Chains A and B, each alone.
Chain A
């Protein structure tokens, strides 16, 4: 009402003020042409290079299948033992080991063992890839200011772009299956490890760096003997975040063919199976807690000797 009244006032006074209230958008024909051109070229790309791209990612697919086969194929007591051992070596605390074993048994008891293993294998491989790509990128970002600026923007886009949007080209290029799901998870989960590697290196005490320079460290020596070890607790926090985000992505990734707990949740949504949703949801939470406790305890252990120096 009010808007129309104001509009009325303006139009009455100045019949040609219409342009003020209607944003001057591009001609619809032009917009249509642009959209068609982009979609068309992407389709052409898919048509012409689809096979090449799929071949390029074939080794990745083999790796994913291999890990999934190993983890889902292994006898369950072995998996429980292995995760308990990892928990012990990372945390050195029986409470953490007990929590890990308890959670795994609970997941098994509610009949979700196979699906949970599929999810763990995906999150595990996605995390390893994210670390392998993310840490060097974080170092690069820290070293080169210009690269850092560009990367900052790219990371902002990656973190705010709704995943569904970049799922579209990924699916167009690679179809549905493990590899596109994996790529979507990595895109979603990699920003924290890159950012926190950069941050960790930046937070290293200035006087320690000065000492490294004063004793004649080369850039490489400074990085590996001083900066990386001291940035490690922060980098561990980044790894922790990356794992959590990868887990958070499994439901969305299930929409493009990733199997595991996420797919069950998706089915539960579609069919309104409340209990199935809750069970799978809790299994995801349980896995998240396992990974979180292990990586955090390891981070804490790294930090033991790094508190502020005595005055």
Chain B
């Protein structure tokens, strides 16, 4: 038996394709949004739409392919439209135009009943301010999604207890949310989402209200859970460190438009514009850039004596390993010890200064 079938509360691991395709998505807030879509397509700016026509441009021509089983981070400052975007995926907000395809179906064309079924079975959501029911105990909060689906009480409790255990809240199941700290409340929120056994997990600034240490703990827990569960996670944040740590893929939004899409290496090494550069400047680059991004892809079978570093090692770890050895070069190898290329201490140090700094010193 593979681990998927044995893991907690998971009855249907593979229910179709859980990738999310967002195409030509527009959202305009205001009295008659539809009549402005074409104008926005033709280049009407957010500022002009607001000032002249009294409508607010929420999302502007969003196109994202979110692969199944990966963590897709959507990053942006407040007002960038990131929370609006995540609410389109389960249609808590109605779009003005566009399509979102999940498992071959367009979410935006579902009837009310279809949408309800979709929300019950295929998505689960975690909220910034937790969204817990204050009149229910921890366990009754965790069973909420299952209860809504009409699953019998004893089974709900059984599934819920496993997830309460998994997020480390055993012993607190009969407490009320307001008796718990913020971090613990968000664990309840996460347990509620996971017990729903949905293939898509929507996390709206889930950790933004937590203090830094607890936030790091929660990130670690999410990565551990994800290694096992392989859900499609859409994670909203305004914190670049969090985005780089969690995101398999990252989208950066500003004023409702996408400015850059890619993985953490793309964002760090090839920021699309000044705006992203300013973000990237304050990040601890050594912790997030991987040696793969800076190495020379050269055949190097003869350098058997050099130390070996695994592909995916961060610059921080690589620099430490190299300084501890007598060499200033290392061979980068993949999972099956096949050499991929060479990386030098000089390349590592060079990658540590951000493009913005290089520019200003030049």
Residue positions of A touching B, CB distance < 8 A: 207-208, 210-211, 213-218, 221, 225-226, 229-230, 232, 305-311
Contacts and interface: CB of A to CB of B under 8 A. Distances in A.
B90 A309 contact: no
Interface in B160-185: 176-182, 185
A307 B133 contact: no
B176 A211 contact: no
Contacts of A309: 129-130, 132, 134, 177-178, 182, 185
A306 to B, nearest CB: 5
B182 A221 contact: no
Contact of B92 (A208, A213, A308): A213
Contacts, number: 86
Given A230-B135, A309-B130, A309-B132, A215 B148 contact: yes
B132 A214 contact: no
A207 B204 CA distance: 11
A129 B133 CA distance: 30
Contacts of B178: 305-310
Interface residues of B, number: 36
Given A218-B116, A305-B135, A211 B180 contact: no
Given A218-B116, A305-B178, A310-B178, A208 B133 contact: yes
Contacts of A221: 148
Interface stretch (B57-65, B118-126, B217-225, B353-361): B118-126
6 contacts: A210-B92, A211-B125, A214-B123, A216-B149, A232-B135, A309-B185
Nearest to A229: B135
B149 A310 contact: no
Interface in B246-272: none
Interface in B96-132: 116-121, 123-125, 127-132
| Residue in A208, A213, A216 with the greatest tally of chain B CB atoms within 10 Å | A216
B275 to A, nearest CB: 29
Contacts of B148: 215-217, 221, 225
A200 to B, nearest CB: 13
B339 interface: no
B5 interface: no
Contacts of A308: 178
B144 interface: yes
